[in-house]
């Protein structure tokens, strides 16, 4: 049986926030990790102090917070500093809805002979920009779906910084696009299929987690992954038959 989190020792507001995040037991807390759970609480809008982090770690260790050694606290502080950006993501159904819009864009790429990648930018739960790859037709390597979507969103908002915006992409972004996303300060990136050869959100490198860069953007992959892969596979199968 799982060991449910309770009040006490967890404060009522903290307990309610953890439960809303799907962390209801010590086992689920262990799976998430004390540092990520702490950051998720902050991302959810809860005012938390380091004492909350000590308490979460103490729960995992089965000790009282006051018995947590200073060496462990120092390690947790360092882990906080190095942790990738964290965000509370939309519901699965909401993310799938916007990813389907990005898939529609990817299909437009395929129809004109471009590698089928699509992207949409969402602000206040509304799509404000949508784009697909046009590198071949534009004779421009920078015309990736993500770059074009960021540019269109900037024009729509009259601001190159896209604070509070989400970017949905059918394929994990490359280093070029990841850098642009970071510069634009996009809040969350949700992508479909991983890109094992050039992916810069964890497959080859994770620029979004690099402590030397400005860390603003939280990442989530695997949304409608099979459908996003299928569009790419169909495109390359057709291309192989042509040559």
Numbered residues of the known binding site for Zn(2+): 144, 174, 177
Task: Give Dmax over CA atoms of the chain in angstroms.
Answer: 69
146 in catalytic set: yes
Identify the three-state secondary structure at position 185. coil
**Which residues touch 41 (CB under 8 Å, ≥6 apart)?**
14, 17, 18, 21, 48, 52
What residue numbers does the annotated binding site cover?
A: 144, 174, 177
As a whole number of angstroms, the distance between CA 96 and CA 200 comes to 22
- The answer to whether 157 and 166 are in contact (CB under 8 A) is no
- The answer to whether 153 and 126 are in contact (CB under 8 A) is no
CA distances 192 to 15, 16, 46, 232, Å, are 32, 31, 30, 11
| Set 57, 114, 146, 172: catalytic member | 146
Which residues are catalytically annotated? Answer: 146
């Amino acid at each position: 049986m799982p060991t449910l989190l309770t009040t006490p020792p967890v404060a009522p507001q903290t307990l309610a926030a953890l439960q809303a995040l799907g962390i209801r037991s010590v086992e689920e807390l262990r799976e998430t990790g004390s540092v990520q759970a702490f950051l998720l609480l902050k991302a959810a809008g809860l005012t938390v102090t380091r004492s909350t982090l000590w308490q979460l770690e103490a729960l995992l260790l089965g000790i009282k917070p006051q018995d947590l050694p200073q060496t462990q606290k120092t390690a947790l502080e360092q882990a906080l500093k190095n942790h990738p950006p964290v965000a509370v993501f939309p519901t699965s159904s909401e993310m799938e809805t916007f990813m389907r819009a990005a898939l529609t864009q990817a299909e437009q790429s395929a129809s004109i002979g471009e590698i089928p990648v699509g992207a949409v930018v969402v602000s206040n739960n509304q799509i404000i920009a949508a784009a697909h790859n046009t590198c071949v037709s534009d004779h421009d390597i920078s015309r990736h779906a993500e770059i074009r979507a960021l540019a269109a969103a900037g024009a729509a908002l009259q601001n190159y910084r896209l604070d509070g915006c989400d970017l949905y992409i059918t394929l994990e972004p490359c280093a070029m696009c990841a850098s642009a996303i970071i510069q634009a300060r996009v809040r969350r990136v949700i992508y479909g299929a991983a890109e094992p050869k050039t992916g810069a959100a964890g497959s080859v490198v994770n620029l979004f987690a690099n402590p030397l860069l400005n860390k603003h953007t939280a990442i989530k992959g695997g949304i409608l992954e099979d459908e996003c892969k299928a569009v790419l596979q169909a495109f390359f199968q057709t291309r192989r038959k042509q040559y």
